[in-house]
Structure 1
Amino acid sequence: VRNGKNIYDFVDPDIESKLAALEEEEEKLEAEGYYDSDESVEDAEEANIRMKADLIREKQQLIRNASKMRKSLKNRALIPRSAKARKLSEMQSHLESIGFDAASASTRVQGQTQSQTQSRGRGLTRSDMEIADAMDIDGSGDDRNATRQELLQRAKSRARSQAPANRLVDGITDMKSRSKADKMAKLAQIKMNRMARQGEADRHTTASLPKHLFSGKRGMGKTQ
């Protein structure tokens, strides 16, 4: 007896045999793979879900980065679209996407680029550019031998004789594009018609609660 307790109550005479049996059973379970976790084995469906989740997180991060870039450039001067340099391949792909033949335009751009690289003298003036445009439009051999005054006169007369372009069909190559453009125009017009706007620049706002309609007495009593 120690500290008021019988030590014999805490002693098991068969503890060694029981411990040996437990160790043997433990080794047997480990050999059979009983303790192998099922979570470590990932099937194909879980792998696919994990891959899609990673792609979604990456896409969200790209969107956040683009938004931060737009906000950071809010108070800075941007290069206008007309002043940005574009590649010839981009111009060709854009013209082909809207149904135009880009061969003549690309040939003209390449010719202008070669002439600019070969020129070492003064820059082209406005009159020289008008002459070059007139020669490019005609494309005949007689214009190459014509004088400067004749080319200027011919360019001015051609500008006066040209009829104004119809902007409703400008840039539309087939009936499918025409119907699509009409549908988009009607959809854009719905909001202005619903709000009774006179045009795109109409910003007039009326009173939400006109006083002459919501104050005063009526036959059945006061309004307020």
Structure 2
Amino acid sequence: MLTIKNLNVFYNQIHAVKDLNLELNKGEIVTLMGSNGAGKSSSLNAISGLIKFSGSILFNGDEINKLSPDQIVKKGIVMVPEGRRIFPKLTVLENLLLGAYTRNVTNNIKAKELEEIFELFPRLEERKRQLGGTMSGGEQQMLAIGRALMGKPKVLMLDEPSMGLAPIVVKDIYETIKKIKGQGLTILLVEQNAKKALSVADRAYVIENGQIKYHDEARNLLEQDVIQKAYLGG
């Protein structure tokens, strides 16, 4: 579904991502994990068209290298960015509706889709008139995911969804990720919380210094000593 070939990203003289190859198949969760500065977010930003890169990115067989970020969203690739990036001075409802801005659908369809989001995140319905900036970090993460789902993505990319959140909130977020996968959505997950990421993923790539170091089924990586010691506190 999504194929990345020889992806390279530079920031001036810094080679942040080096010949990265990654494949994401329909209906699976793939996690890209690694330490801070390993090149995870740069990879997602390249796929989203937000930064310059070299290499090839194919979506359903079509190269999307030269598409603008909004064209990539229209294709069906939607990212929940690191730090959530909600609109703090807009209400929860307004934030969610903005997620559907690239889709020419009726208000009735939007209303039905909002009901689906509220079923997934009941707290958002309780706070739909509340300004986004006044919500807790966990609620803002729910809002950011809900906004992305309003775009009806074919591929949902999540960049550090557990960052800065309390453990109980992280647990809720990951339960939601499993529910979303159960609905058939394809997910590319970037995460430093390796245990959580591997607990929901089908496959995983480990990136170090911009390069893929390991790639295997998530359950196999959970059992590898080198992964235990480097990422899981083993």
What range is the shorter-chain TM-score in?
under 0.3
Structure having the higher Rg? 1
Relative to the length of structure 2, the TM-score reads: 0.22
Whichever structure has more helix as a proportion of its residues is 1
Whichever structure has more strand as a proportion of its residues is 2
Higher relative contact order (CA 8 A, sep 6+): 2
Relative to the length of structure 1, the TM-score reads: 0.22
